[in-house]
Amino acid sequence: MSGIVPAVGLSDHVVPDLIAAFTARSLTIGTAESLTGGLLAAVLTEAPGSSAVFRGGLVVYATDLKHRLAGVDAALLARCGPVDPHVAVELARGARLRCAADIGVGLTGVAGPDPQNGVPVGTWYCAVLGPADREQLRRGLPTASATRAEVRSAAVTAAVELLANIAATDS
Amino acid sequence: MSGIVPAVGLSDHVVPDLIAAFTARSLTIGTAESLTGGLLAAVLTEAPGSSAVFRGGLVVYATDLKHRLAGVDAALLARCGPVDPHVAVELARGARLRCAADIGVGLTGVAGPDPQNGVPVGTWYCAVLGPADREQLRRGLPTASATRAEVRSAAVTAAVELLANIAATDS
C-alpha cells in the first residue's frame, strides 16, 4: 500500500524533501485546517521522520471550533464568515501558537459539492506564517467542474508549496 | 481525482453510510489522532455532508500536545508512554470534550519504520467513546512486514469500524 500522497497528486519526494529540510534547520510545523479536514497533516505525517518537524494540528471543521480551538477572533468570524483570507491568517497564527511550532499553516474554504453561505465551491485561502512572522497567502478560485477531492488536493498542494518556499529561502 | 479513501483501503460507501447514519441521529464526532496524523479526520471529511457530523479533531503528534491539546494526564503519559490503551481512551475523552462532540475517537501507536521507545512497529490502540460513555477499544499487533501506510490505514479502518458499531447499535 503506497499511502495517500499519490492520491493527492503530490510527487513522492516532495514531502520527504520538506521534512528533511526542516529537520536540518530545526523548524517545526503546526496546522489548522478547515476544508481539508486533516488532509494536510495526514500528508505531512506520511513521511517517515515527520515527528521531528510536525508537532500537531487542529482540524476546525465546525465554525465555532475555529474560535475555540484555534483562537480565531469570534467577531472576525461573525463579520467575514469562515472563508476569508484574514481567517486563514488567524488560523495559521493559532496553529503556530497552540501547537507551539515555528511555522503555522491555516486553511479555510469551500470543498463542495454545495456553496457555503453564498461562497462558491473551489474558493479557499491558505496562509503560512513562518519564522519572524513572514506571511504567505494563496487563494483558490471558484471552479464549477472540480470535485471535492480535487479542491481539497489543490489546497493541500498550495500549503506544501508555501512550506517549500520557506525551506528554500529562510536560513 | 477520486480522493484518498481508496488509498486507505476502505470501500467507497462506508464513510458516506456512516455520515448518513449519524446525521439521521444527530450524533457528532470529534477525533484525537497521533500515529494516523489527521488521516481519520481526512477520511471522514472526504464525504460530502460530513460537516453535519464531524465537528473537528486534534492531531497530537508530539507527546506534550497529547496533554496540552487533548488533556491527557501528564502523569499517565510519563508512566505509560504515549502508546498505551489508557492514553487512547483519554485521547477519545479529550476529543469529545474539546471538540464538543457526542462521540470521541482516540488513536495512538507506532507507524514505523522504527520502533518508538521500545514499542514495536504496528502496535496501536484505538478507543471510541460513544454517547452514554459506551467505550470500545481495539488494538493493532506488532508486525514486521507492514509499511507505515499500511499501519496507519489499519488504525483508521479500525476507527471507522468502531464508529460503524455505534451507528448500527445505538438508538
The DSSP result for B5-37, as a single string, is HHHHT--TTHHHHHHHHHHHHT--EEEEESTTT
| Closest of B75, B66, B18 to residue B43, by C-alpha | B18
Cell of A17: 524533501
A-to-B residue pairs, Cβ atoms closer than 8 angstroms = 170
| Closest of B169, B113, B107, B157 to residue B6, by C-alpha | B157
Residues of chain A positioned with their CB less than 8 A from the CB of B29: none
pLDDT in tens, B56-103: 999 999 999 999 999 999 999 999 999 999 999 999 999 999 999 999
pLDDT recorded at residue A138 = 98
pLDDT in tens, A31-79: 999 999 999 999 999 999 999 999 999 999 999 999 999 999 999 999 9
Place of cell 518556499: A165
Is the pLDDT at B34 greater than 80? The verdict is yes
Strands B54-60, A135-140: pairing kind: unpaired
User: What does the alpha-carbon distance between residue B103 and residue B55 come to, in Å, rounded to a whole number?
Assistant: 10
Q: Is B118 helix (H, G, I), strand (E, B) or coil?
A: coil
Highest mean pLDDT among A98-102, B112-116, B145-149: A98-102
Q: Is A146 helix (H, G, I), strand (E, B) or coil?
A: coil
- Would you tell me how many other CB atoms lie within 10 Å of the CB of residue B99? 31
Helices and strands, counts by H and E, chain B: 7, 5
Q: Is B9 left (phi over 0), alpha (psi -120 to 50) or beta?
A: left
Q: Kindly identify which residue of chain B lies nearest to residue A116, measuring between CA atoms.
A: B51
Decide yes or no: CATH 3.90.950.20 for domain A5-169.
yes
| Closest of B48, B40, B167, B42 to residue B107, by C-alpha | B40
Residues of chain A positioned with their CB less than 8 A from the CB of B38: 31, 33, 37-42, 45, 57, 59
pLDDT-based confidence at residue A131 (cuts at 50, 70, 90): confident
Q: Is the pTM of this model over 0.90?
A: yes
- Closest CB to B65 among A33, A99, A150: A99
Is the pLDDT at A1 greater than 80? The verdict is no
| Closest of B120, B88, B38 to residue B96, by C-alpha | B88
Q: What percent of chain A has pLDDT over 70?
A: 98
pLDDT in tens, A153-163: 999 999 999 99
pLDDT-based confidence at residue A141 (cuts at 50, 70, 90): very high
Strands A54-60, B103-109: pairing kind: unpaired
Is the pLDDT at B137 greater than 60? The verdict is yes
The DSSP H or E segment spanning A22 is helix A14-25
Cell of B154: 489499519
pLDDT recorded at residue A2 = 80
* DSSP secondary structure letters along A54-117: EEEEEEE-SHHHHHHTT---HHHHHHH-SSSHHHHHHHHHHHHHHTT-SEEEEEEE--SSS-BT
Say if the Cβ atoms of B149 and A65 lie within 8 Å.
no
Is the pLDDT at B1 greater than 70? The verdict is no
Say whether residue A38 is in contact with chain B using an 8 A CB cutoff: yes
Domain spans, chain B: 5-169
Q: What percent of chain B has pLDDT over 70?
A: 98
